[in-house]
């Protein structure tokens, strides 16, 4: 699914990355706890979060996450936008709550970047 | 610790500097990209340094992260001055945390930090003298 389709489905605003709307995204991870994102998310996914601070952008950058969708209409600071531009990470913003966002995107074919957390000691971050 | 000839950088971290948490991890990632290190390795180092940095900001007065690149491994050495860790075994347990609200507001402080560092390290060592500080070494093999 293209980033532009995600924008349309969620009636989202593009805050950063107008030039990256053709980006193909097939998986997503939703969380507000960045330690869980760092532990379980995968590169190339969409990060759905209500945490609109610089740390969510830096977390996305650490894992090569494709884009961030800020949900629940959380307010965005200038610093957040500035760091997203600097690290070249597209930001979408929607008023829908996380549950609605996940449901709407799943219905259209987006899946989790992992489905269940395993006990295995896999050290690779795909 | 690897010999100084492999030292790539020393990064300084100020305790309680919550706004910039993660900036060192981002800088280390950028520098590793420039060196052509494989992406999957860089992601592991980025996660390890991010969590180490958040720990120092949360629980120390100040600290350093040293990055060593040897032909067969990347070593992250994180040393801080501060309260240290009372019970290292307990601190490594997922879900155990002594974090306050200022840490939780960043999206951290749920007791995953050391567990995450351990998860993505090939070698992981941590020592602490409570009241003095903590010393963490993480090796990612190339």
Domain membership of residue B37 as a residue range:
19-141
C-alpha triplet B60, B107, B49: angle, nearest 5°: 55
Distance CA A85, CA B116 (A): 27
Q: How many domains, in total, are found in chain A?
A: 1
Contact present, B43 and A63 (Cβ < 8 Å) = yes
Query: What would the pLDDT profile of A34-50 be if each residue is shown by its tens digit?
Result: 999 999 999 999 999 99
B14 falls within a domain: no
Domain membership of residue A96 as a residue range:
3-112
Give ipTM to 2 decimals.
0.95
Q: How many domains, in total, are found in chain B?
A: 1
* Contact criterion met (CB < 8 Å) for A55 and B22: yes
Torsion of CA B33, B48, A47, A37, to 10 degrees: 160
> How close does chain B come to A50, measured CA to CA in Å?
10
Query: What would the pLDDT profile of B6-23 be if each residue is shown by its tens digit?
Result: 999 999 999 999 999 999
Distance CA A41, CA A44 (A): 9
B91 falls within a domain: yes
> How close does chain B come to A58, measured CA to CA in Å?
6
Residue A122 has pLDDT above 90, yes or no: no
Residue A113 DSSP label:
S
A49: chain B residues, CB-CB within 8 Å: 107
Backbone angles phi, psi at A110, to 5 degrees: -75, 140
Confidence of residue A126 (pLDDT cuts 50, 70, 90): confident
C-alpha triplet A114, A115, A117: angle, nearest 5°: 80
Share of chain A above pLDDT 70, in %: 98
């Amino acid at each position: 699914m293209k980033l532009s389709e995600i924008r349309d489905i969620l009636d989202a605003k593009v805050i950063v990355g107008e030039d990256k709307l053709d980006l193909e995204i097939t998986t997503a991870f939703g969380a507000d706890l960045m330690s869980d994102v760092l532990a379980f998310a995968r590169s190339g996914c969409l990060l759905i979060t209500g945490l609109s601070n610089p740390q969510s952008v830096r977390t996305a950058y650490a894992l090569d996450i494709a884009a961030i969708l800020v949900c629940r209409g959380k307010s965005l600071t200038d610093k957040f936008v500035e760091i997203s531009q600097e690290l070249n990470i597209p930001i979408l913003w929607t008023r829908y709550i996380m549950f609605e966002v996940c449901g709407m995107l799943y219905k259209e074919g987006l899946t989790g970047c992992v489905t269940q957390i395993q006990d295995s000691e896999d050290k690779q971050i795909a | 610790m690897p010999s100084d000839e492999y030292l790539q950088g020393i990064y300084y971290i100020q305790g309680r500097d919550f706004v910039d948490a993660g900036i060192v991890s981002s800088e280390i990632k950028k520098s590793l990209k420039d060196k052509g290190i494989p992406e999957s390795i860089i992601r592991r180092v980025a996660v390890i340094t991010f969590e180490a940095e958040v720990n120092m900001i949360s629980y120390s007065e100040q600290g350093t992260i040293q990055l060593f690149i040897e032909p067969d491994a990347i070593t992250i050495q994180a040393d801080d001055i501060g309260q240290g860790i009372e019970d290292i075994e307990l601190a490594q347990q997922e879900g155990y945390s002594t974090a306050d609200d200022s840490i939780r507001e960043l999206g951290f402080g749920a007791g995953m930090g050391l567990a995450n560092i351990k998860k993505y390290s090939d070698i992981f060592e941590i020592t602490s003298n409570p009241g003095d500080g903590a010393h963490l070494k993480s090796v990612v093999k190339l």
